[in-house]
């Protein structure tokens, strides 16, 4: 899979996307992630990418043209990928969104900044807008990295074993069960004895029950959806 990220802070994004699991997956050739400096595509000497909003108001707006030129560069070197603008006005990023995005061979992520992006760029170039939550950040870099990470870890070969993600929170609509590691006793608390029993079937049943209980208590919205899917709604 290839991901191109259009941003005013390519170094920050590159540093994060080059670390740990994604960094190793890139080295092994499972992923290609390219960050592009939007400022390099301005037509003015000051490399200005923003201007005042028509109609007045606070803040600056990212101009359509530098974004468009930057996108055209990506089209030239890598073709037209599925283009996503990170925006607090977009659809919420969920695990099933990540599962859909991993089916695209090429994603192009556009990071907004300032007060946002000229609407005409969105109309002409963006296929969908994605939000990482109902709050506002200063820029689209953290959302782009969150999206990129959530999608890229699903690319075959990035994690050592597919069950690393198919057993996790949100894959099948439930939260994951609690996890424990050594030592067996810590601060007067024992790890649940069943996990040390070696009885695989009982451990599986315990984990499933914990997972369901946790989801019911912590996320009634997910629990209701899960029951509905199992045909037990209402
Ligand atoms: C300060 S925000 C602009 C918010 C915009 N004025 C509004 O009210 O909808 C600047 C940029 O940060 C990014 N951003 C902020 N919050 C986000 C969120 N929750 N999800 C995705 N992107 C976000 C977007 O790229 C946005 O263009």
Model pLDDT, residue 127: 98
Give residue 24's Cα distance to chain centre. Answer: 18
Residues 9 and 64 in one domain: yes
Determine the distance separating the centroid of ligand 1 and the alpha carbon of 7, expressed in angstroms: 13
The finding on whether 48 has its CB within 6 A of some atom of ligand 1 is no
pLDDT tens digits, one per residue of 165-206: 888 999 999 999 999 999 999 999 999 999 999 999 999 999
The closest alpha carbon to 87, from 144, 48, 36, belongs to 144
In a domain, 98, yes or no: yes
The pTM score is: 0.96
194 within a domain of the structure (yes/no): yes
Two tokens, residue 111: 């990071």
Please report, for the domain that includes residue 111, its CATH number: 3.40.1280.10
133 within ligand 1 shell (Cβ under 6 A): yes
Q: Are residues 135 and 202 in the same domain?
A: no
Tell me, yes or no, whether 54 lies in a domain. yes
Place of tokens 């990482």: 132
Q: Are residues 135 and 176 in the same domain?
A: no
Atom number in ligand 1 closest to CA 139? 12
* Domains in the chain, number: 2
Query: How many residues does this entry show for the chain?
Result: 234
- Whether 164 is in a domain gets the answer no
233 pLDDT higher than 60: no
Q: What is the pLDDT of residues 217-226, one digit of tens each?
A: 999 999 999 9
Domain with 194, as residue range(s), is 169-229
CATH number at residue 173: 1.10.1270.20
Sign of CA dihedral 60, 63, 64, 66: negative
81-130: pLDDT as tens digits: 999 999 999 999 999 999 999 999 999 999 999 999 999 999 999 999 99
**Cα 90 to middle of ligand 1, angstroms:** 9
Is residue 161 one of the residues assigned to a domain? Answer: no
Look at residue 65 and tell me if it is in a domain: yes
């Amino acid at each position: 899979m290839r991901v191109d990220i259009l941003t005013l802070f390519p170094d920050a994004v590159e540093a994060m996307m080059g670390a740990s699991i994604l960094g190793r997956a890139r080295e092994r050739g499972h992923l290609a992630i390219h960050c592009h400096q939007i400022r390099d595509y301005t037509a003015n000497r000051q490399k200005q990418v923003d201007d005042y909003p028509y109609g007045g108001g606070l803040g600056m707006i990212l101009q359509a043209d530098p974004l468009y030129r930057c996108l055209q560069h990506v089209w030239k070197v890598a073709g037209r990928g599925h283009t996503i603008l990170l925006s607090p006005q977009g659809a919420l990023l969920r695990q099933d969104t990540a599962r859909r995005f991993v089916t695209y061979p090429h994603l192009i992520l556009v990071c907004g900044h300032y007060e946002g992006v000229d609407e005409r760029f969105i109309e002409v170039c963006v296929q969908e807008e994605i939000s990482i939550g109902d709050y506002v950040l200063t820029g689209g870099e953290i959302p782009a990295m969150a999206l990129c990470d959530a999608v890229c870890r699903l690319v075959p070969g990035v994690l050592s074993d597919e069950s690393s993600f198919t057993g996790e929170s949100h894959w099948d609509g439930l939260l994951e069960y609690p996890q424990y590691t050594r030592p067996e006793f810590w601060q007067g608390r024992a790890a649940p004895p069943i996990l040390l029993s070696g009885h695989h079937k009982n451990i599986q049943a315990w984990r499933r029950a914990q997972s369901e209980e946790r989801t019911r208590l912590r996320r009634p919205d997910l629990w209701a959806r899960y029951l509905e899917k199992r045909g037990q709604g209402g």
